[in-house]
Amino acid sequence: MASVDETPLGVFERYLSVWVALCIAAGVILGLVAPGLFSVIAGLEYANVNIVVAVFIWLMIYPMMVNVDFASLKDVGRKPKGLCITLVVNWLIKPFTMAALGILFFEYLFVDLVSPQDAKEYIAGMILLGVAPCTAMVFVWSQLVRGDANYTLVQVSINDIIMVFAFAPIAALLLGVTNIIVPWETLLLSVILYVIIPLAAGYVTRKMLDGTDNEERIAEFTAKVKPFSVMGLLATVVLLFGFQAQTIVDKPMVIVLIAIPLLLQSYGIFAITYAWAYLWRVPFATAAPAAFIGTSNFFELAVAVAISLFGLNSGAALATVVGVLVEVPVMLSLVAFANRTRHWFPEPASA
């Protein structure tokens, strides 16, 4: 049994929630004090993908990609349980529970607090979040719980492939729209930026470190570059909240109303996935990333689609931004919970 003193988090990462909270506050303050600066940064985009945010996300996930061992990817198919859980939750459960919660809260529980038109747009934004499983950030959460980097990559890659074909039909079904426009350039560019490029860089780095895959040298290198991963996360938080600072200040009550069903969705989906993995006796290194993929969202795509369909200042766009606000603290709390409960799961079989 592992020692009680052992932890997958370093001293800095153990207090990551504190740094994130400070960065959220810094982002909002800077966004109010220097809105022109954030307007310039926001304009540096292609196909609705902000280049600066993309660079910071790249910094986040590059160290994790160095840990991917391509030689072992061929063995992932021998452990189908994690993939099964991920795919069922992401595509047969999550979109529909998100839609149900949106309708419950904004058409019934909050019906006297928001206008009917705003309610429809908030629900639409929530649905777009629910149909877009996480792509990039899950590598960060997986790293923080020492998840299986190879398995996480396969899970994310398969979800990305399915998303190309399933995002529009499911979103159209739940939104009741037949001519929904999906910004395919945004989707494809995001996959290239957040998965393919850092994965290729990680592969080249791994080969340069040692052609025989000397794990000790690789571990030393990743330990050195790991701080950049945390810096990328914190910088991303500052930017995202700087972009939406005025909206956050102007509509605090609406943000609370949107956050309530999003919080229930996040913790509920994690509970379903984590419990299923526990009952199916899936090893922790596979179970935790599977739960994180379903819980977190591909917010870049959700925000882009919401803006394309409903407009920059729409309730749908606001709901997707609130999804970003909710996601980081929620995921950090779930990372902490997962690390405390790793002993619930069986140890992986020896290679």
What CATH number is attached to the domain comprising 102? Answer: 1.20.1530.20
Contact between 232 and 59 (Cβ < 8 Å): yes
- Distance between first and last Cα of the chain: 19
Give the number of residues written for the chain: 351
159: in domain: yes
Structural domain count of the chain: 1
pTM of the model: 0.77
Rg (CA), the chain: 20
Residue 18 lies in a domain: no
Q: Which two tokens stand for residue 186?
A: 């945004």
Contact in structure between 296 and 219 (CB atoms under 8 Å):
no
**How far, in Å, CA of 54 to CA of 46, rounded?**
11
Instruction: Let me know if residue 161 belongs to a domain.
Output: yes
Helix or strand (DSSP H, E) at 261: helix 252-279
In whole numbers, what is the pLDDT of the chain averaged over residues?
81
- Residue 52 within any structural domain of the chain: no
- Distance (Å) of CA 243 to CA 39, 63, 71, 120, 253: 7, 27, 41, 24, 19
In a domain, 237, yes or no: no
Does any domain span residue 31? no
Q: How many CB atoms lie within 10 A of CB 221?
A: 18
Domain hosting residue 146, numbered range: 67-220+251-340
Query: With contact defined as beta carbons under 8 Å apart, do 332 and 17 qualify?
Result: yes
pLDDT by residue (tens digit) across 177-222? 545 566 667 667 766 776 678 778 888 888 888 665 566 787 788 7
The reply to whether 45 falls in a domain is no
On whether residue 62 sits in a domain, the answer given is no
pLDDT at 30: 94
